[in-house]
Structure 1
Amino acid sequence: MRVQEAYFYKPPLDGTTAEALATRADLIILTRTDEPFRDAVRAAGYSGIILQYMLAAEVSGPVDAVRAGDPCNPNHRPWRNQAAFRVGEFCTLIHPNDDWFLHNSNGERLYTKWPGHAGYFYHMNPASSGWRAFLIARLRQALEGDDEEPALGYDGIFLDNVALTLWKLRRQVNNSDGGVREFDSDEAYRAAWVTLLTEISAVLRPRWPIWANLIADSTPSRGWDAYLPYLDGVMVEAFATGWNNRVSPDAWERGLAQAEDVLRQGKGYLAVVQAQDRSLLPFALASYLLIADGRHAFFRYAERGDYAVFPHDPLLDTSLGIPKGARYRQDDGTWRRDFEYGYVIADPATRTAQIVVAGKERTD
């Protein structure tokens, strides 16, 4: 079994060519306007799926639309990674529908200011039937085409920031004040997301696969169980080492167990590791190899959170052959998995690992 690498969300800025990406990647996610690069990757021999990135519940709009009665700058130039991607249509199609938005306790529309973006990304309400209908119409337009434009030519959709709790809205967005007017509990918020995912799935699947980045869940929880029936794959954006290298051994083990549950269902699992340098790569890769099935599991090591670079490390060329079974815990608290041509051992307490291939050992 070899490491299946994933790449996202925009064409690389580190000199990685379409030909190199076609050789290395097994799963690719790109954004509207990246079609020329996507086509070059396919022309270079890539045969895997390429998903179109789309924010699931955020819309690019001008900074002067924080309240329903505010003026709206029709010249705002939106980013193309979300549903209202044409100049002016936020003001004409989105702004008039205040019930489509989520609001803080003071009645302001919740928003996030992204670096390099001239406006705000407003957070939308998954319980709003109007917002759900608009988003689904735009997803269908991208995949199937309509009278306004042809299909973009992607193999499916990747939905970013599909939330499992209210944590981000209450504590992390720019105008968070601890409250979300539309929801008083995580359970109610998840129920709204299930409604949205159910409707998207009914319209697009099984013809078009739907993947999602499931966020705002500090530890693996039961929230996944309600979402998975409507998805073909999931991304975990802080696999094995967490954000800022803060994962307890118990949380690490629960994360691996959750990954195995996803893979048993035949769903895709994209393990993204956040790191400042290469020092955690052996442990992160060993953690991935403990659960990988050789088909549905993918890996991405993100240094300093920079998704526009795709550095190569010889360790990623590791090929251990067919697994002899599932991972198992050893007496010293480490976890081991045996393969046709070697084995891996990961220690979540020390974040160290051994990756042994045909007698050649890599220990860090």
Structure 2
Amino acid sequence: MHATSGRPGVWPARIACGLFVAALVAGCAGGKQPAAPAITPLPVPTPLTAFTPAFPQKIVQLAWFYKPPEDSNLATLAQYFNVFVLTKNDEAARDALKAQGVAAPMLQYFAFDAIQDPGNCTDRPWGNQVAYEAGDFCQISEQHPDWFMLDSAGRRIVHEGNAFMDPGNAGWREFFLQRVRQSQQEQGWDGVFLDNVEASLYKRQTRGLPGPYLDDAGYQAAIEGFLQYLYLNYFQPQRRPLFANVIAIQDQQEAYFRYMRYLDGAMEEGFGVDFYNGFLSDSDWLEQMSRFEQTQRLGKRLILVSNGTRLDAERELYAFASYLLIANGGASFRYSNNRSYEQAWLYDNYISDLGDPTGQRYFDGKVWRRDFAGGAVTVDLKTHTATITTH
């Protein structure tokens, strides 16, 4: 039996530069870990998806987003990554990946919650939101002021040059879908990834509560209605996958599953560990494990992102092992942080020869464990350590 670390030794030399030699987090610390609380499955609406997009089904899948890489070439992505989200104006990179054998649908990034104010009516805005033509913001501002999200004092909610839009406004929904459809069909994309789909008002507490939505239930209903409008009017009948980064979930798991009726996949940007250098509480970690197992049982896809620094071998191992505990062919993984998304971080344990899982995760009295045909994975919530061992 041998242990798998995060060493980059098997990767091509062009990638290995800058990666690290990671020691195995050996064994689990002594002492007894509290027994895991029982997780009662949430009631889940019947999924509406009538097709299965042609994504990979293997246990270990790596996700790439949102721009082409800065530190490696596209051949690296084509060889090692399996799920892709890129942005308008990345069509050349997208087509090059397809030419190199990538068969998975190419998802196009769009901000779901806001549009950019470029500061004048002549500069072309960013391509990562639907008001991407020069003059769009000015025209919307003058002709459709009701599309903007207003706070309780009637002021537009603006953050870092982005104006938030009202998800319940019928005119805004129509414009959004028109632009998405136009970009998808004219530029040859396969599907869409929506960023910042909120499951609660948590983020709004610091940016001004939206006047029409002073409680979670009303806000969730507007967002769910928007997703339903997009999905039933375009994505489902056109057989195009629709993914979303569902954020601000807090304790709103039921809203998450309602949203999933109108989505083919979801991203979690704080999977397995907390942002940057902290860890999830035991209860939050267990909730994620249960929710993402349930998501895959519904036939939905997942992009699970764990935040950390490139050289933190123990954190990467802990995050990746957490992923392996619940990966059932519908989940992809990435260890990175939002300052490094354009860097391809690759680790030896991504190609551990574990084989297929022989069952689901279980708690053995000390650690969470999952057995594979070629080895085993453990995660210790008490010490925040993990092991990946192969026969």
Aligned counterparts of 1:97 and 1:341: Cα–Cα separation in 2: 60
Aligned counterparts of 1:237 and 1:304: Cα–Cα separation in 2: 9
Q: What one-letter code is carried by the residue in structure 1 that aligns with 2:327?
A: A
> Alignment length, in residue pairs?
329
Q: CA deviation at 1:319?
A: 3.3
Greater relative contact order structure (CA < 8 Å, 6+ sep): 2
Alignment check: 8 A CA contact 1:220 1:251 kept: no
Aligned counterparts of 2:255 and 2:220: Cα–Cα separation in 1: 7
What residue is the counterpart of 1:90 in the other structure?
A: 137
Q: CA deviation at 1:219?
A: 4.9
Aligned counterparts of 1:129 and 1:12: Cα–Cα separation in 2: 37
CA displacement, residues 311-357 of structure 1 (integer Å, 9 cap, x when unaligned): 2111211231111111001112x210001000100012322101011
Aligned counterparts of 1:140 and 1:304: Cα–Cα separation in 2: 28
1:39–1:323 CA distance, 2 compared to 1 (3 A): same
Alignment check: 8 A CA contact 1:275 1:304 kept: no
Alignment check: 8 A CA contact 1:158 1:212 kept: yes
Residue pairs, 1:1-364, within 5 angstroms: 2-14=59-71, 16-62=72-118, 73-113=120-160, 120-144=161-185, 151-171=186-206, 176-177=207-208, 179-206=209-236, 207-219=239-251, 221-244=253-276, 245-277=278-310, 278-279=312-313, 280-293=315-328, 295-303=329-337, 305-332=339-366, 334-358=367-391
Aligned counterparts of 1:95 and 1:316: Cα–Cα separation in 2: 51
Aligned counterparts of 1:304 and 1:204: Cα–Cα separation in 2: 30
Q: What one-letter code is carried by the residue in structure 1 that aligns with 2:357?
A: P
CA displacement, residues 187-225 of structure 1 (integer Å, 9 cap, x when unaligned): 100000111011111122331110000011235622112
Q: CA deviation at 1:49?
A: 1.7
Percent of paired sites with the same residue: 35
Cα RMSD (Å): 1.5
Alignment check: 8 A CA contact 1:283 1:351 kept: yes
Aligned counterparts of 2:339 and 2:323: Cα–Cα separation in 1: 19
Q: What one-letter code is carried by the residue in structure 2 that aligns with 1:74?
A: C
Q: CA deviation at 1:95?
A: 4.2
Q: What one-letter code is carried by the residue in structure 2 that aligns with 1:229?
A: R
Q: CA deviation at 1:303?
A: 3.8
CA displacement, residues 105-131 of structure 1 (integer Å, 9 cap, x when unaligned): 332211221xxxxxx111111011111
Aligned counterparts of 1:348 and 1:268: Cα–Cα separation in 2: 26
Structure 2-normalised TM-score?
Answer: 0.81
Aligned counterparts of 2:282 and 2:229: Cα–Cα separation in 1: 37
Q: CA deviation at 1:42?
A: 1.0
Alignment check: 8 A CA contact 2:59 2:356 kept: no
1:45–1:350 CA distance, 2 compared to 1 (3 A): same
Aligned counterparts of 2:151 and 2:115: Cα–Cα separation in 1: 16
1:272–1:288 CA distance, 2 compared to 1 (3 A): same
1:220–1:253 CA distance, 2 compared to 1 (3 A): farther
Aligned counterparts of 2:65 and 2:142: Cα–Cα separation in 1: 30
Q: What one-letter code is carried by the residue in structure 2 that aligns with 1:88?
A: G
Aligned counterparts of 1:286 and 1:102: Cα–Cα separation in 2: 41
CA displacement, residues 229-285 of structure 1 (integer Å, 9 cap, x when unaligned): 100000001001022424101110100100000000110011100113433111101
Q: Secondary structure at the match of 1:109?
A: coil
Q: Would you identify which runs of 4 or more consecutive aligned residues in structure 1 move more than 4 Å?
A: none
Alignment check: 8 A CA contact 2:83 2:104 kept: yes
What residue is the counterpart of 1:68 in the other structure?
A: none
Q: Secondary structure at the match of 1:190?
A: helix
The unaligned stretches of length 5 or more in structure 2 are: 1-57
Q: Secondary structure at the match of 1:243?
A: coil
Aligned counterparts of 1:28 and 1:217: Cα–Cα separation in 2: 24
Alignment check: 8 A CA contact 1:60 1:84 kept: yes
Q: Which moved more, 1:245-254 or 1:303-312?
A: 303-312
Aligned counterparts of 2:349 and 2:389: Cα–Cα separation in 1: 11
1:317–1:219 CA distance, 2 compared to 1 (3 A): farther
Aligned counterparts of 1:345 and 1:298: Cα–Cα separation in 2: 19
Q: Which moved more, 1:97-106 or 1:345-354?
A: 97-106
Q: What one-letter code is carried by the residue in structure 2 that aligns with 1:189?
A: Y
Structure 1-normalised TM-score?
Answer: 0.87
Alignment check: 8 A CA contact 1:2 1:318 kept: no
